[in-house]
């Protein structure tokens, strides 16, 4: 780590509280504009105004008397809210074009690959098989986006432009052009019954934990243009039951899956998902938080806040996201 504290002495000081990711690039960029510490000077350090966090250590933020806001370096905030000692200050999450674009790329890539039978062609190539399966139009395929927020809606726009039918499921009612929207518990079964490719972009909350289980996958459309239901999860691993996905793949409930997230990460070497011929695995890399793009809007928010403007993209702690 570079020296502990540098940057604009007048502005509110930032505590960089990260575990599991490399804090260095965040430190380098934040400290160009502000004083940044990687450890508070005592549990009740009065100089800390903001915390920029990824899976902060419990108790680290609880006693800081002048902490005004917590900034998540991810779109999800489950890594922050799981701390039972979290102080009651506003939490700002990431909403940024760069991250949204990465997620849209990932979703469209995976949907197109399943639609255009990428798994079949890769298997055929391995065996040097020259065979052309039937081609179906995108309009015969319904993509259901579970978690129809910033990322889900952005992916939907491109999928609609590609010609897919798109369904969206959210907690509260939404109305989006060219998308069939569903919401709440009552809307879940009709949403699943009308979906061929399920794309999961939910946040992890007590309500959504384990939601992608065998019973849910059973409700997807199996007799469809793709020859089976497909799952794409780029939300959070604990939304799904890994063993249920394996079971669903084995008994034909699911045809294929693209998984970016897993119940345990890194995915244990013993997981059958690694070697499954109809599973595409990426290492929680659908939309990486790139500090070069995410630090500038974070610093702008701090400046605006100090001018008296309200913070944007605040987490609703009661809803859990
Ligand atoms: N794999 C990766 O690399 C990666 C990268 C970035 C983000 N993510 C994940 O993507 C998630 C979504 O990000 P976002 O920016 O799109 O979040 P967002 O804007 O907060 O959207 C969340 C969506 O989920 C819906 N939702 C929440 N709880 C629900 C429930 N109980 N039942 C039904 N719908 C529910 C919300 O409904 P309302 O519209 O009614 O509020 C909203 O539509 C993040 O939380 C994070 O976990 C993953």
Q: What is the structure's pLDDT at 187? A: 98
Alpha carbon 137 to its chain's center:
29
Which one is predicted more confidently, 164 or 8? 164
pLDDT tier at 1, thresholds 50, 70, 90 = very low
Strand-pair category, 69-72 with 91-92:
parallel
- For the CA of 94, the closest atom of ligand 1 is 15
* DSSP secondary structure letters along 241-295: -HHHHHHHHHTTS-SEEEES--SSSSPPTT-TTTT-TTEEE--S-SS---HHHHH
Give tens-digit pLDDT for 132-160: 999 999 999 999 999 999 999 999 999 99
Question: Residue 204 gets which letter from DSSP?
Answer: P
CA of 14 to the centre of ligand 1 (A): 27
Q: What is the mean pLDDT of residues 243-247?
A: 98
Q: What is the structure's pLDDT at 12? A: 81
Give tens-digit pLDDT for 43-98: 999 999 999 999 999 999 999 999 999 999 999 999 999 999 999 999 999 999 99
Whose Cα sits closest to atom 19 in ligand 1? 149
CA of 293 to the centre of ligand 1 (A): 21
Q: What is the mean pLDDT of residues 100-116?
A: 98
The SS3 call for residue 70 is strand
The pTM of the full predicted model, rounded to 2 decimals, is: 0.96
Question: Does the pLDDT value for residue 9 go beyond 50?
Answer: no
How many whole angstroms separate alpha carbon 185 and alpha carbon 221?
A: 18
Q: What is the structure's pLDDT at 11? A: 66
Mean pLDDT (the chain, rounded) = 95
CB within 8 Å of 261: residues ≥ 6 apart? 233, 234, 235, 236, 237, 239, 240, 284, 286
Cis peptide upstream of residue 266 (ω within 30 degrees of 0): yes
CA of 318 to the centre of ligand 1 (A): 15
């Amino acid at each position: 780590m570079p020296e502990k504290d540098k940057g604009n002495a007048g502005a509110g000081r930032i505590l960089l509280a990260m575990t599991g990711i490399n804090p260095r690039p965040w430190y380098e960029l934040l400290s160009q504009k502000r004083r940044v510490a990687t450890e508070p000077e005592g549990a009740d350090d009065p100089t800390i105004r903001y915390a920029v966090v990824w899976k902060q250590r419990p108790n680290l933020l609880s006693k800081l008397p002048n902490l005004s806001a917590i900034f998540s370096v991810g779109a999800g905030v489950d890594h922050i809210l799981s701390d039972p000692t979290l102080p009651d200050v506003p939490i700002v999450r990431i909403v940024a074009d760069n991250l949204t674009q990465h997620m849209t790329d990932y979703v469209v890539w995976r949907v197109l690959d399943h639609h255009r039978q990428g798994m079949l062609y890769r298997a055929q190539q391995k065996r040097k098989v020259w065979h052309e399966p039937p081609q179906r139009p995108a309009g015969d395929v319904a993509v259901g986006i579970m978690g129809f927020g910033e990322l889900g809606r952005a992916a939907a726009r491109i999928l609609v432009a590609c010609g897919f039918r798109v369904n969206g499921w959210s907690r509260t009612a939404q109305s989006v052009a060219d998308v069939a929207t569903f919401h709440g518990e009552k809307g879940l079964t009709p949403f699943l019954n009308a979906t061929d490719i399920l794309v999961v972009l939910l946040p992890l909350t007590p309500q959504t934990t384990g939601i992608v289980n065998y019973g849910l996958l059973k409700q997807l459309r199996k007799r469809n243009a793709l020859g089976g239901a497909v799952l794409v999860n780029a939300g959070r691993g604990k939304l799904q039951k890994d063993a249920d996905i394996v079971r669903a793949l084995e008994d034909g409930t699911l045809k294929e899956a693209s998984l970016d997230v897993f119940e345990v990460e890194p995915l244990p070497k013993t997981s059958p998902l690694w070697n499954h011929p109809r599973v595409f695995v990426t290492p929680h890399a659908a939309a990486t938080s790139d500090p070069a793009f995410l630090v500038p809007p974070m610093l702008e928010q701090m400046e605006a806040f100090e001018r008296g403007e309200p913070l944007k993209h605040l987490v609703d702690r009661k809803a859990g996201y």
